[in-house]
Structure 1
Amino acid sequence: MAFKVNQRLDSWVNEQLAQGRFGFALDSLREALPAQTEIARKFALKRLSDKGEILSIYKGYYIILPPQYAEKGVLPPPLFLDAFMKAIRRPYYVSLLNAAAYHGASHQQPQEYLITTTFPVMRPISKKGLKLNFISIKTIPEELLEKRKTESGYINISSPGLTAADLVQYEKRIGGLNRAVAVLEELQETLTPADFNALLVQHAHVTALQRLGYLLEFICHNQELSDSLYKNMQSCNLEFFRIPLKTSAPVKGFSSENRWKVIVNTTIELEE
């Protein structure tokens, strides 16, 4: 009996791979093999896990490890991310350094895969060599996302403009402002004035946009991009307040004599 249960599960998992699926939800397995008891299913899943053919990454969700990835014991996130996020009913987009790499700014190698999703907050996922970390926001700006093709389908990534704004907004998540600027230096080769449109300006935090504008103008020396951002912020009637370039540093005695009203309280050192 156990052999038949294992054989049925093996066949079903192989069918998923044959159809380009690299993961599955436990609910899908229950629907596909309704005759299996919970105990039999549990032992069959454990057997495949012990063999390194599947890996549980989240309660009720497994990724499938084909032979070419079995030795590492983990899959590249683009192969399963979209299906996983749909299975747990979470809108999302790949963000920060991972999104920047898709846009050609790949010099900075991320140590984790960063994903933006909605509340409630999701805990990080760390399994063997897999590290997924999550940023939670109120609403995912679907109009500011792009789809990129993968071996298993598509994934959502932030547009170049949203990526730039996120890099500044969440600079502490990637190692600080200097690293954010290093990525911006590369990303500006992809950015166009049209990326700083009303949709982006209305979604992103005003303070992040002020700091981004300052960095584009005075550190990246890209007048065209900074002018476009400034113009659209003015068109949307956004109010500028004096804000520090480095949020954790003192501001007393530092100048904010620039159109962005950014208090220049740190020196940006570009990474080589």
Structure 2
Amino acid sequence: MKRHRLANPRHGFYLILRAEDQATGAPDPVRWIDPLMKHQGIDYRISLLRAAAFHGSSHQAAMVFQVVVPKQLRDFEIGRHRLQFLYQSPMVFAKLNQPDFLRQMKSDAGFAQVAGVELTLLDCARYFHKASGMNGVAQIVKDIGAKAKPPVLAQAAADYENSSVRRLGYLLELAGHVRQANALEPFVKKAKTAVPLDPSVKPLIESLSESHEKNAKWKLVINESVEIDF
């Protein structure tokens, strides 16, 4: 077999390149992520931008293929594809990576595990810095939030950081998905202090942080204006 007909994303794991794969250097990762992770002996779920696109967020032209795993793994590139692995603690991951919270993404090579709408929203809120920032998350919430089942959303949210759940609740309410937002409102009672909507935004002068609007309902400091394309 000719050398250029093989790709090697991980030691001991090879991909056979078809003629249509030559332009991108490797097949779409959805075709081979499941056998790769089985080869590695690691459970996984496709999430964030690719999952959001799968569930109908038309704004998400995912340039990166993001996978949540219960182990620290290095990101890698193969051809034009960039794979990014997001760590979730094994205990939390085991509770969430269950059939009730997952869906199957089909390709011509088989199926791969993808986060359901509810996990996609929660993962985006948790790993917002990897999901095009808070404005990117807000757009995803607007696009697919209505598809989330409130009881399932609340059940899954119990295993996420309270601050992430409150941020998601605020964004759901902002986007007009009231039923889904209401399902997360009980989590506010567990919060002791208000946190910034966007923790990555640092004020130029410390005193300016006091001037930000506070949202008492979600116990958030609105330190970033959110723009959603309706």
Confirm or deny a common fold (TM above 0.5).
yes
Structure 1 counterpart of 2:224 = 266
> Take 1:135 and 1:153, find their aligned partners in 2: how far apart are those partners?
23
Conserved in 1, the CA contact under 8 Å of 2:50 and 2:60? no
- Aligned to 2:190, the other structure's residue is in SS state coil
**Matching of residue 190 in structure 1 with residue 147 in structure 2:** yes
Structure 1 counterpart of 2:123 = 166
Structure 2 vs 1, CA of residues 108 and 71 (structure 1 numbering), >3 Å: closer, same or farther?
Answer: closer
Structure 2 vs 1, CA of residues 72 and 189 (structure 1 numbering), >3 Å: closer, same or farther?
Answer: same
Number of paired residues?
Answer: 218
- The one-letter code matched in structure 2 to 1:123 is R
Residues 199-246 of structure 1 show CA distances to partners (whole Å, capped at 9, x for unaligned) of: x122211110011111111x2122211111224x37xx7335311111
Conserved in 1, the CA contact under 8 Å of 2:52 and 2:60? no
Structure 1 counterpart of 2:197 = 245
Structure 1 counterpart of 2:80 = 129
Structure 2 vs 1, CA of residues 221 and 65 (structure 1 numbering), >3 Å: closer, same or farther?
Answer: same
**Among residues 171, 175, 196, which one is paired with 1:220 in the alignment?**
175
Which TM-score applies when normalising by structure 1? 0.74
**Among residues 88, 91, 115, which one is paired with 2:67 in the alignment?**
115
Structure 2: give runs of 5+ residues left out of the alignment.
204-208
Q: How does 1:1-272 map to 2 (within 5 A)?
A: 10=1, 48-49=2-3, 52-119=4-71, 121-139=72-90, 140=93, 141-143=96-98, 144-198=101-155, 200-217=156-173, 219-231=174-186, 233=187, 238-249=190-201, 250=203, 251-271=209-229
Once the 2 structures are TM-superposed, how far is the Cα of residue 271 of structure 1 from its aligned partner?
A: 4.8
> Take 1:220 and 1:126, find their aligned partners in 2: how far apart are those partners?
35
- The one-letter code matched in structure 2 to 1:266 is E
Sequence identity (%): 23
**Runs of 4+ that moved beyond 6 A:** none
Conserved in 2, the CA contact under 8 Å of 1:58 and 1:125? no
Give RMSD over aligned pairs: 1.9
- The one-letter code matched in structure 1 to 2:84 is N
> Take 1:178 and 1:71, find their aligned partners in 2: how far apart are those partners?
32
Which TM-score applies when normalising by structure 2? 0.87
- Aligned to 2:146, the other structure's residue is in SS state coil
RCO comparison, higher one (Cα < 8 Å, 6+): 2
- The one-letter code matched in structure 1 to 2:55 is H
> Take 2:146 and 2:213, find their aligned partners in 1: how far apart are those partners?
30
